[in-house]
Structure 1
Amino acid sequence: MNSPKSVLQVAIVGGGIAGVALALDLHRHQHLDVQLFEAAPAFGEVGAGVSFGANAVRAIEGLGIGKPYEQIADRTAQPWQDIWFEWRRGVDAGYLGASIAEGVGQSSVHRADFLDALASQLPEGIAVFGKRAVSVDETGDRVSVQFTDGTHHQCDLLIAADGIKSSIRDYVLQGLGQPLVAPRFSGTCAYRGMIDSSQLRDAYRAAGVDEHLINVPQMYLGLDAHILTFPVKQGRLINVVAFVSDRTDANPVWPADKPWVKNTTQAEMLEAFSEWGDAVRVLLECIPNPTLWALHELDELSGYVHGRVGLIGDAAHAMLPHQGAGAGQGLEDAWLLARLLADPRVLQRDAKQVLEVYDAIRRPRACRVQRTSWEAGELYEFRDAKVADQEPLLSTTLASRFDWLWNHDMQADLAEAHTRLGWAQAV
């Protein structure tokens, strides 16, 4: 900034994976004063297993949290260690092909375990709980965020990592003169459950189902439905997500008075897949008390930044989970912002310009990931206009369609950011 300040005050609203990862990186730099505000009384993640592609694993390592991640992450055992998913027909578990991510394969973890591992490294005093943001004001070169308890906090930069229901997104869009964007129901719901892997192995043996389906992450495909499985908790549990899409309404609406996540019955879940084969039937019979998730997403935003306020993670680009890419995009956001703010030259630059460069670089990629995540769901459920259920074309498409996502060069993004900021050489 063009000011005598020697410290940049950064506030982060939202204590999910992206927000905590960003805080962990930023607190290591003497010229940054970091405070994180979380609405809940303690850190906690909603959901179960989360998968990270090769790009996300690189972001994790670049944020300096690779070691705690490696200690809890699951990897497929050899010789299948590079397989992201095997693709199979839902009706009979017939093999369609596999997607290969060399050196990474299926890298997954339980969300709560990962957040716990990150939060345990955050120094005391950085995180403040019970602080739900409700509004933002900017005056001059300062930002003030107000909380429901009547308190407020002032800072130089405010980063909103407060999820799909972000309370700060409206401020950014209003500042840009753009229409507000609210979460939209996708028409797809997901039955979820966790199965003890030894229980599933016994059940498969009893039913004569190939145990290989437990050893390797699987994706079962069918018309308007698909199911994924992968291990978490060091292989002790199998994470199962069974998606069902209702396409009878072009503009589906989830009732405002119904929770997005609720308990449901095994009978309802089994009925949804009653035409599928034994591998799926036995799998779902091992989930006595599934939950049902109404999948919501955001439209692509016209901007992630206004003034000294920026959005990251699901606050900016909440997407469908069909590429296992949502959390990874939040980590890519955090990685680029951390690299820019950690550079001492940020003190000689108007910090708003740093956010504008972040927006210019990250938004096109994140929007593309949003679009292709929806497209992946269409592909899995035989609704892709070009592929449908043509198995040879489906196999070749699935084998290569994730390469652009996983092989993204984040260092090139950083170099472009330096160029835009006039920082010719990294320090």
Structure 2
Amino acid sequence: MNNSETQKKDDVRFRVAIVGCGIGGLALAATISQFVTEEKSQDGIIQVDLYESKSEVSVTGAGVGIWKRSWQVLQGLGFEEDLVKRGVKVPVDGESRGPIFRKSDQPTPGYDFHDHVMPYGPLGLHRPTLLEILQSKLSKDCTIHTSKALVNYTVHAGGNNATVTLHFADNTTAEADVLIGADGVYSATRQTMFNGLFKETGNDEYARYARAEYSGTLAYRGPVPTDKFKEKYPGHMAANRPKAWCGKSQHVITHPVGPYIGVIVYKYCFDLSSSPTLARYQNQTVVPSSRDEVLALCEGWEPELREVLGSIDSDPSKVSCWVIHTVNPLPFCVLGNVALIGDAAHAMQPHQGVGGGQAIEDAHLLGRLLAHPKAALATTSKPSTLPAILKLYEALRLPAAQKAARASYDNGLMYEFNYPGFVFGGETSGTSVTEPDASSRGPTPKELKLLGERIGDSFAWLKEGDVEGDWGKAEAELEKL
């Protein structure tokens, strides 16, 4: 690809480059496609080019939790009919049963302390299905370019309109009027934005925002074949309901999913270099693991949990450790004609299952803003509105997403007895957790009951949903431009 391939046609209002064909990038392109068509707009089309670093649009990661707000967005894109055709149960209003929380970090049988009732019946959507449907919503004005790994970008501010040149690893370039970084937690777009500011100002904080940070959490994943497990352990509590097996600085989630029971062991370990075994995870994203390694993590935990872990598929290729990275809360996610969405702007821990939904909400609002007739390049009589429109997106979405990230982080502390006011079995200190000592004690049943209530309350915000109301606020601000 070269610059000539992305030159504007006469009927193009402006060109949008989206780096990353994950949830956020595809949802943004689908939203622009929905709200700008040649039939709907007499101002011309928006040319959208999506750049994917891999050789095809593929997916890694777990399923995506679709709560009320993100479901409203997907409904607007026509997802309900597509999912029904695939036999997928769609989300419903009203309460639904979530996992049962259980204290498990002792060699004797544990006990349940919270039967979680979720405030909304969310959908756990398979990522490949989500991406496949999103791709089907793209208009003919959207083009996906694969094997295009962004290295950096440069901004040219000459004339009335700034343009952005994207530089790829294969030594090709492309031009756009707006660049959207939807390129995940290790975003090259974010690195270019903040490292550039660091070089200009010498402010170390900008360098910190540029890079992804290890979150202090490892997530070990592996499947348990359901039929074999039920045959060996008939009536086992893990076979029919999701369970959260909680302990000090570690917790395990098990969830039945048809032919297998999914297992995720979340381990708090902020300093990987402190252990020769864990040191191999430094600077890694996903590394191979094994059933024996997972079992060793829960040495001394209750027998019922160890029965589950001992039943994880023995095939090492099916067991992995995910090194969870996050993004430090950014002071902004827009600079000129460049914006960040999804994990590039606010990658978070997974303990409320809202990261994918936040990317969908980012894409919905930004897509509608860009599609609005007020979004325009400069003319001889008017300056470009694009920087102001991107800043409006930032003002409405960044604080909300960062609040969701904090809620997800807090839930992880609760599940592992490290939340302020509910610290058991050791004390927290900054970003580390000390080992239990002789004076440490576990939580009492009364304390766990209160903790369970706090966990239940932490999910209350997920039943709220008014994306149209949010759009109304954005539209009112647009009229001031």
TM over 0.5: yes
2:328 to 299, 305, 325: 299
Task: Please list, as runs of the form range in 1=range in 2, the aligned pairs for 1:223-302 lying within 5 A after superposition.
Answer: 223-232=248-257, 235-246=258-269, 258-287=283-312, 288=314, 289=316, 290-302=319-331
Superposed, 1:310-329 pairs within 5 Å as 310-329=339-358
d(CA) in 2 for partners of 1:66, 1:24: 15
State which of 331, 340, 363 in structure 2 corresponds to 1:334: 363
Distance 1:103 1:247 in 2: 33
How many Å separate the matches in 1 of 2:269 and 2:80? 39
Aligned length: 413
Q: Which residue of 1 aligns with 2:4?
A: none
CA contact (8 A) 1:320 1:374 kept: yes
Which of residues 154, 172, 181 is equivalent to 2:175?
Answer: 154
**In 2, distance between residues paired with 1:410 and 1:25?**
13
Q: How far apart, CA to CA, are the structure 1 residues paired with 2:86 and 2:118?
A: 20
Structure 2 counterparts to residues 181-260 of structure 1, below 5 A:
181=209, 182-205=211-234, 208-210=235-237, 213-232=238-257, 235-246=258-269, 258-260=283-285
**After superposition, what is the alpha-carbon deviation per residue over 1:208-227, rounded to whole angstroms, capped at 9, x for unaligned?**
523xx333322221111111
Further displaced range: 271-280 or 9-18: 271-280
Post-superposition shift, 1:403?
A: 1.4
Where 1:137 maps in the other structure, the secondary structure is strand
| Cα distance change on mapping 1:204 and 1:338 into 2, 3 Å | farther
Q: For 1:324 and 1:231, how far apart are their aligned partners in 2?
A: 17
Report what 1:33 is aligned to.
Answer: 47
1:336 & 1:278 partners in 2: Cα distance? 48
Contact 2:79 2:133 in 1 (8 A): no
**CA displacement at 1:273 relative to structure 2:** 1.0
Aligned residue among 56, 59, 67 for 1:42? 56
Specify the code of the residue in structure 2 equivalent to 1:386. G
Displacement after TM superposition at 1:135 (Å)? 1.6
Question: Normalising by structure 1, what TM-score?
Answer: 0.87
- The answer to whether 1:398 aligns with 2:468 is no
Kindly indicate whether the alpha-carbon contact (under 8 Å) linking 1:185 and 1:254 is maintained by their aligned counterparts in 2.
no
What residue in structure 2 maps to residue 367 of structure 1?
A: 402
Q: How many Å separate the matches in 2 of 1:370 and 1:193?
A: 25
Name which of 8, 14, 26 aligns with 1:8: 14
Return the match for 1:354 from 389, 411, 414: 389
Check the 8 A contact 1:63/1:335 in 2, yes or no.
no
| RMSD of aligned Cα (Å) | 3.1
List per-residue Cα deviations over 1:392-423 (Å, max 9, x = no partner).
11111111111124425333322222222226
Deviations 1:81-102 (A, max 9, x none): 7123332222545322233334
Partner amino acid, structure 1, of 2:248:
L
Extract unaligned runs of 5+ from structure 1. none
Greater CA drift, 13-22 or 287-296? 287-296
Greater than 6 Å deviation, 4+ residue runs: 248-257
Contact 1:49 1:110 in 2 (8 A): yes
1:54 Cα deviation (Å)?
Answer: 2.8
Asked if the contact 2:65/2:353 (under 8 Å) is kept, the reply is yes
Instruction: State the alpha-carbon separation in 2 of the partners of residues 115 and 189 from structure 1.
Output: 26
TM superposition shift of 1:156: 1.7
- Aligned equivalents of 2:260 and 2:243: distance in 1? 14
Cα 1:193–1:164 change in 2 (3 A) is same
Per the alignment, do residues 386 and 110 of structure 1 end up closer, same or farther by CA in structure 2, a change over 3 Å counting?
Answer: same
Tell whether the 8 Å contact from 1:74 to 1:108 is kept in structure 2 after alignment.
Answer: no
Q: In the alignment, what sits opposite 1:94?
A: 111
The TM-score normalised by the length of structure 2 is 0.77
User: Partner of 2:413: helix, strand, or coil?
Assistant: helix
Q: Which has the larger radius of gyration?
A: 2
Q: Which runs of 5+ in 2 are unaligned?
A: 1-9, 38-44, 378-383, 424-442
Provide the secondary structure at the position in 2 that maps to 1:358: helix
Q: Does 1:173 find its partner at 2:188?
A: no
SS in 2 for 1:321: coil
Which of 112, 124, 130 pairs up with 2:147? 130
Q: Distance in 2 between matches of 1:72 and 1:398?
A: 33
